[in-house]
Structures are given as C-alpha cells and as structure tokens.
Structure 1
Amino acid sequence: MASFLTSFFAFILLISVLVAVHEYGHYIVGRWMGMKVLRFSIGFGRPIWLKKYGEDDTEYCFSAIPLGGYVKFLDSREADINPSDFGRAFDQRPILARIAVLLAGPLFNFIFAILAYWLLMAGGITTIKPAVGSVEPNSYADQAGLVFGDKIIQVGDEKISEWEPALTAILGEIVQNGQVNLVLENYDGFQRTAILNIGDNKTRLTEPGALFQGLGFKPWQPPAIIADLSEDGPAISSGLKVGDRITSIAGQDIFSFEDLRIAVQPLSGERVVIEYFRENQLEVVDIKIGERKLGGEVQGYLGVSWNINNDDGYIKEISYTPLESLISAVNRTWSSTKFTVHMLSRMVIGDVSVKNISGPIKIAQIAGESAERGWRYFISIMAVISISLGVLNLLPIPILDGGQIVYHTIEGIKGSPITEKSQIIGQQIGIIFVLMLMTFAFYNDISGIFS
C-alpha cells in the first residue's frame, strides 16, 4: 500500500490537474464567447495565492481546499455591472453561448483522457492478452470448464485482444444477462465456447475487487520462470539459476510472477522452502528472504525477474503510427465513457453495487499506488478519473453542469428563464443529492479501510 505522503501528494496533483483542465474549458470557451471572467480558482475557500492579469483584471488563484475549483463570470443577477461591461455578463450572452461554456468543462475532461491515452500509446504498447490464470475449484469458472492458459478471444459479441475492453465486456455481460458468454482458445489453438452462469449473484460481482474472486479465476500472468537474478539478492546466493520455474514458496502454490511477488512481500527476513523445476526435475531449496523498503513499507525481496520472451504468445506488442495511436485513444475514451454511463444507469436500478462510488480517500489511495508503480500507471488513472469527472458533471443535477444545461435549454424553449423559486427548489434537490453521494463515497472509503 502506498505511503500516506505519496498518496496525499499524488491525490493533490491528480485533482489539481483534472480540475484545472475542467475549469479551463469553461474559462477559455467563456472568453471565446465574449464573457468577462472575474476569477479562475483551483480549490475552494480562502485564496492562498492570487494574481490579477489581463485587460479584465481576472483573478487567478489557488485556494485552501484542493477538492475542486471554479470559474466566476460577470453576472448581472448577482450585482450591478459597469455600463462598459454591458453584454459581457454570463446571463446576457446568447443561450447557445452559455450552453457551450457549460459543456466545455466536461468536454475538456474527455479531451484530456484522449491526449493521455495518446501519450501512453505513442510508439506502441506491450500488453498481456486476456487469458485465464489459476482456476478456483467449484467456482463459476471451474463449472464452465475454464482451464489455466485459455485465451479469451471473445466476450459476448465483442472480439477481444486486450484486458481493458475484456473487463468492460465481462462486467457488461454480467449486468445485462447474469451470465458471461466466452469464446476461448487453448494452447493448441482449438477454440470453444463457455458460459459462466452468475444468476442472482451479479450485483455482488460488481463490487470493487470482487470480479475475479467471484468468477473463480485469476488473470493469466507471466509464469515464474527466472530470466535474471540480482547480484545482491538472496536467490542467486541460494543457487537458483536463470530458467528455473518456481512452483511453490512456503507451501503456497505459485503459478505466475504476480503470485510470487504477493507471496514474497510479507516474508521479509523469514527462512522458507522454495520448490522449483530445473530441466523438468523438481528441486527444493531453503532460503532466507531478503528485505527492502518500498514507499515506507518493508517488503520481502527475492531478487529475481522475468523476461518478456517467456510469454508463450500471451504478451502482445502493438506498434502505432501517431495517427493510429490517436484513433485508438479516441476509441478507448469513447468505450470507457459508454461503460461509465452504462454502469451508472445500472447502479440506479440496483444491478451494480453502490460500493463502486469512491470518495477522496479511495482516490488518494489509488493515486498513490499508481504513482509508485510509475508515471504510465499514474497517467492512465488520471485518464480514467477524468472520464468519470466528465460524465458526472453532465448528469442533469441542478448544481452540476448538466443541470445548468437543462435550465438554459428550458429557457431557450419557453423564451424566458425558469422562475427563481423553481431554481431554488432545484438547487436544494441537487445539494441533497450531492450530499447523499458524498455520504455514500465516504462510507465506502471508510468501510474499505476497516475491511
């Protein structure tokens, strides 16, 4: 788990960037539409840094509470305006101009996600093909006949070549049908179909982290075949060699390097027995696990690594031209946006667990863990959260961009603004909804910590 400081600073960076992107959308389109901007703030509350700039003396500031931000436009409904600024107030601009400004915030979040994915895909990517790892006895996967090494080449009607669309399609099948229809391919290239019947258990499987455990299989990971040994690691001093395949450590079965990593982490300083295959012969070695500090936490250390060439066709290298990577980035953003909307709508009717609503504590934890894994993981998480932020702000809730768009659309249809009483009632409903959402989010965050 990421250290507190790593999570804190990663969270501040993530939120600040995404809020700045969102608010800059409102800001720049408002400027294009001839509106006067009074303030552009990252964060809420008292400004801790403020500078005025430009012909309009616009205030640019960072505020004390870094959980959002805002752009304040000149508005004749809030105060008298200078005659020289007449026509530049937000409420005095055409309705389509106001709607464009409101749409710009979420739109810039989607654009950020596209650019983030484009950066990640530039020059090509290396990805693990979706395949079945270890299978739990008597699970849905076991009953459907899934076995270690099966490649998932189709979920429902969708052809699959990467894990992200595979996960989206699997969750979609569970929510829609209560079952998962798969086309699998074994080591020999033989294809067959399999159906995982989930039945009434589908809502539980949509809880965070419950999918693979509920289905009863782990994603395939590179096998624990040693490709390199650290000079200062305990593995090399114990006699382990390149090519050895580790199958057990401290009595725990090992199928992949991910299993090995998880098994070794809590064993720092302990003496354990490792079983491994060398030239098809089972060997045993007694070894004392080393230790190292990672993110403020002491973890076990063996000193072995794997090689991309030990993948048996399960790792895919994809090369992109700049245009191809841009097209792929747009497609991934669109796919993630549709998935987010679908899951939200299913959450409303109870088919998807409300435990998926995360608050700042969980987001900080995810941000910290992704930052420790490297900049690519952090950028990927930023893209996902940026999409969620864009979708959330388009919901027709009065205090969000989507609700304001509804107000101005109604004004355009009826030819006059909705009454002040109706606006107040709408804002009260919106505030209650957002408070309920925040309560769910904090409850889920705290429950996750204690569980």
Structure 2
Amino acid sequence: MAQWLISAAAFIVAIGVLVSIHEYGHYWFARRLGVRVLRYSIGFGSKLLGWTSRKTGIEYQLAAIPLGGYVKMLDEREGPVAEADKPKAFNRVHPWRRIVIVAAGPGVNIVFAILAYWLVLMLGVSGIKPVLGTPATDSPAARAGIQAQDHVVALAGQPVDDWQDLRLALIDRGLDQRPVQMTVKGENGGQRQLTLDLTHAPSDPERLFGMLGLTLYQPPATPLIGQVQSGSPAAEAGLQRGDAVLSVAGQAIDSPQALVDAIRAHPGQRVPIRIRRDGQTQSVTPKLAQRSNDRDQPVGHLGAAITIDPAAWKDMQTVHRLGPVAAIPAAVHKTWELSVLSVRLIGRMIVGQISWHNVGGPIQIATYAGQSAQIGVVAFISFLAFISINLALINLLPIPVLDGGHLLYYAIEWIRGRPLSEAVQAAGQQAGMVALLMLMAVAFYNDILRLLG
C-alpha cells in the first residue's frame, strides 16, 4: 500500500508539473500574440478550486481529472464573440500566430527537458559502469570477441559513461542494423577495437540485448529477496524481504543473474531453495509459476524482486558530473539524442516493427514515477525530463485532436490562403479522437497485463 501511495503522489506531481508547463507555453504566447485567454486549467472535468483574475478576467482552475489540461481562448467557433473582441479571437489571428501558440506547448516541454538535464548533470548522474559479463555462446557479442569484465569505453567513436549510456547507444545503432565499432578495455587495462554485428538486431529494445548476448557484469555477491508479490509462489513459500538466497535446486547462487537463470530453468516445478534469514539457514520449496519469454519459451517465475547488498556494487558505481557551463551543451545533446531515438522508436512502432506491448499508460508512468522518486531527487528530475520529451513528441503527432493535428490544419490554411472546410475538419477531429481512444485503450490494456504479471 505504501508503494502505491508513493507512486500515486509522484505521478500527480509529475503530471502536474509537466502539464502546467505545457499549457503555460500556450498561455504565455497566446497573451503575447494578442489572443484573449479565458481559462487556464490543470486537469479536466469538474473544478476543484480556482479563482478569476480581477485584472485580466482569466479564470485559473485545478480540475478533478489529473490527466492533462487546457487553455481556453476566445474563439468564434465556440460561441458568440462581441464585435469589439473579435480581433482577439483565436480563429481571427493570422495562421502563423496560431502555429506559434500551438507549438509553444511542446516547445516548452523540450526547453524544460534541457533545463532538467542541465541541473541533473551539475548535481551528478549516478550510474553503473558499462562492464560486460560473459557473452552468450555463439552470440554476436561472443563472435565480436567480447570477454567477461570488458569495460566499454566508446561506441561508434562516442564516449560511453555508464550502462544506461551503452543501452541507449546500442538501441539507437541497432535500428540501423549495421555493424558498429566498439572500444573496450580489458581486465589488464589494454584497449581493443571490436566490431559488433547489428545486422540482424531486432527493432524491439526489449529483445536487443538478449539477441546480442550482452549482459552486465555482476560481481560475486549473494542475492537478496526484495519485494514479494502477493499471491506469488514466493509469498506462498514464505519468502521474505531480506532473505539471502544461497542455492536453488542444489546449485550454488553467487549473483542475481545466477538466481534469475536458476528460477527460469524450472517452469512449473517445485524447487528447493536454501536461504539465510537472521543468521539461520533454512529451506523452502515453492512451486514456481510458468511464464513465456520473448521467444514464447516457458520459463519459471518466482514473483519476487531481487536486490543485493549495495556494498558489493560499490566498485561498479560511477558518477558523471559537469560544471554549469559544460553542462549546457551536454544537456542539449542529451535532449536531442533522446528526442531522435524516441521519434525513431515511435516510427517503428507505427509500422509494426516494434510491439505495441511497449506502450505504457498512466499506471506504468505512476510506477516509474514512484520508483524514481524513491531513488532520489536526481532520478526523479531525470524521469521528468524524459517524460517531458515524450509528451512533446506525442503532442506533435499529426492527429487532429493533438497539437500536431492543429499545426497541420493551420499550415494548410496558411498555404491555401483559406481554412479547410468545417466538414473536413470535423471528420479529422472524429478520426483523431478514435485514434487517440484506441491508443489509450492499448496503453491501459498493457498496464493491466503488467499488473497481472
């Protein structure tokens, strides 16, 4: 319950911040470009609280449904407008003004992401060193000559600071499906140039590392049981948070990955697990559940998170920190890099090369918000920056009910010298609403599947 409360609170804060700045972009430019603003709302539905400015007459409100917001502007299409006020109506101003007003929302989200990453880079980004484990036999990583404990220094000539950097770089390069040069430093300190074959790399990021045979090196350490899912095999067997797992089916366990591999190797079976709790050794015998992996093969499922003593990972931790000036171009580059990657992934998803199961809705966002908030301020700010980028990009899709659809209409009007007919615009709005509802349905469906394991 506490976890859900944290996730809910973090979600409300995240959505509140991002929606506020998005709508403020529309609001600020509308006022500067001569359009009268009637209402600035955070949330949809019934008003919870608000006030009206005596000076401007603008109504500011917080509404009941915290899944968005809007700026209501004077518009003849939405009601009668006094003759004296018509020059301030949104529909009366030149298309270029409307384009700027509409584009300002996503634009401010991008600016926010840059500022957020600038702050994060100055505070210091904690990460895990990009040290590789033993590659899977006959995998592209093994054929490239990667060895256990190779430290990745660069990919395609670009420096790699941590494991997350390596993941994002490989996902991006994997979409090109071409060999990529990798610079690694071995245990003896010497550097080697390797060629990693990405020719047959899958577009789906979830399958990429498994196909390449790449894993993160895990220093020898006894894995610990983290959060136990209610009703799971772990819960029914009596496993508790903090239990140290010593062996599974007689096989000694010396790392989290070894535990994962041992559990997955026994789908649907009763498996003896030896643990240490409060200094005492004991055994439990859960009957593992059965799930399917990304190749539709059956794998065992315990239903518990796996953690490790942080001290065991001390030498694997790294902190990347920059000064105020150096952090500016780095923040811009980070935002640009993630924006381009997100656009490429969205494009692959639209054409069916990436599974729609990757689409997440409010529940997944809330989960990630809660997890990042628990990690710390830097992680939560990074999460806000990433979501802000995606909020901007999704809003720029040429779907009529989104900002991108309005931009398309106004651009056509500017080129033609007159707007599209009301019938065409209405048809576009209806089609856009159907598309948006379908996307929301997919997102909620995926959220529910994740909740069900």
- Normalising by the smaller structure, the TM-score range is 0.7 to 0.9
The verdict on how the C-alpha distance between 1:408 and 1:131 changes in structure 2, with shifts beyond 3 A counting, is: same
1:262-281 → structure 2 map (5 Å cutoff): 272=275
1:182-201 → structure 2 map (5 Å cutoff): 182-197=182-197
Q: AA paired with 1:188?
A: N
Residues 1:432 and 2:444 are matched in the alignment? no
Instruction: Report what 1:219 is aligned to.
Output: 216
1:106-255 → structure 2 map (5 Å cutoff): 106-137=106-137, 139-156=139-156, 158-177=158-177, 181-197=181-197, 202-203=202-203, 205-207=204-206, 210-220=207-217, 224=221, 249-250=246-247, 251-255=251-255
- CA deviations on 1:328-360 (whole Å, 9 max, x unpaired) are 111111111111111111222233222221111
- Of residues 305, 315, 333, the one that matches 2:311 is 305
The verdict on how the C-alpha distance between 1:355 and 1:412 changes in structure 2, with shifts beyond 3 A counting, is: same
Q: CA deviation at 1:428?
A: 1.5
How far apart are the structure 1 equivalents of 2:321 and 2:205? Answer: 33
How far apart are the structure 2 equivalents of 1:299 and 1:332? Answer: 30
Q: Is the deviation greater in 136-145 or in 413-422?
A: 136-145
Residues 1:390 and 2:418 are matched in the alignment? no
Q: TM-score by structure 1 length?
A: 0.78
Contact 2:202–2:208 at 8 Å: present in 1 too?
Answer: no
How far apart are the structure 1 equivalents of 2:422 and 2:389? Answer: 32
What secondary structure sits across from 2:397 in the alignment?
coil
Contact 2:246–2:274 at 8 Å: present in 1 too?
Answer: no
Contact 2:177–2:200 at 8 Å: present in 1 too?
Answer: no
Contact 2:175–2:201 at 8 Å: present in 1 too?
Answer: no
The verdict on how the C-alpha distance between 1:182 and 1:351 changes in structure 2, with shifts beyond 3 A counting, is: farther
Contact 1:399–1:430 at 8 Å: present in 2 too?
Answer: yes
Q: TM-score by structure 2 length?
A: 0.78
What secondary structure sits across from 1:86 in the alignment?
helix
Instruction: Report what 1:93 is aligned to.
Output: 93
How far apart are the structure 2 equivalents of 1:300 and 1:188? Answer: 31
Q: AA paired with 1:182?
A: M
Contact 1:271–1:287 at 8 Å: present in 2 too?
Answer: no
1:29-108 → structure 2 map (5 Å cutoff): 29-108=29-108
Q: Percent identity?
A: 37
Q: Is the deviation greater in 406-415 or in 176-185?
A: 176-185
The verdict on how the C-alpha distance between 1:111 and 1:304 changes in structure 2, with shifts beyond 3 A counting, is: closer
Report the aligned-residue RMSD. Answer: 3.3
What secondary structure sits across from 1:18 in the alignment?
helix
Q: AA paired with 1:206?
A: P
Q: AA paired with 2:128?
A: I
Q: CA deviation at 1:224?
A: 4.7
Contact 2:129–2:318 at 8 Å: present in 1 too?
Answer: yes
How far apart are the structure 2 equivalents of 1:423 and 1:300? Answer: 52
Instruction: Report what 1:325 is aligned to.
Output: 327
Q: CA deviation at 1:400?
A: 0.8
The verdict on how the C-alpha distance between 1:91 and 1:147 changes in structure 2, with shifts beyond 3 A counting, is: same
The verdict on how the C-alpha distance between 1:179 and 1:444 changes in structure 2, with shifts beyond 3 A counting, is: farther
Q: AA paired with 1:80?
A: P
Contact 1:2–1:369 at 8 Å: present in 2 too?
Answer: no
- CA deviations on 1:193-221 (whole Å, 9 max, x unpaired) are 44555665614x423xx443443333245
Q: CA deviation at 1:180?
A: 5.6
The verdict on how the C-alpha distance between 1:386 and 1:409 changes in structure 2, with shifts beyond 3 A counting, is: same
The verdict on how the C-alpha distance between 1:273 and 1:64 changes in structure 2, with shifts beyond 3 A counting, is: closer
Contact 1:99–1:408 at 8 Å: present in 2 too?
Answer: yes
Q: AA paired with 1:216?
A: G
Contact 1:175–1:351 at 8 Å: present in 2 too?
Answer: no
How far apart are the structure 1 equivalents of 2:82 and 2:416? Answer: 29
| Total equivalences in the alignment | 398
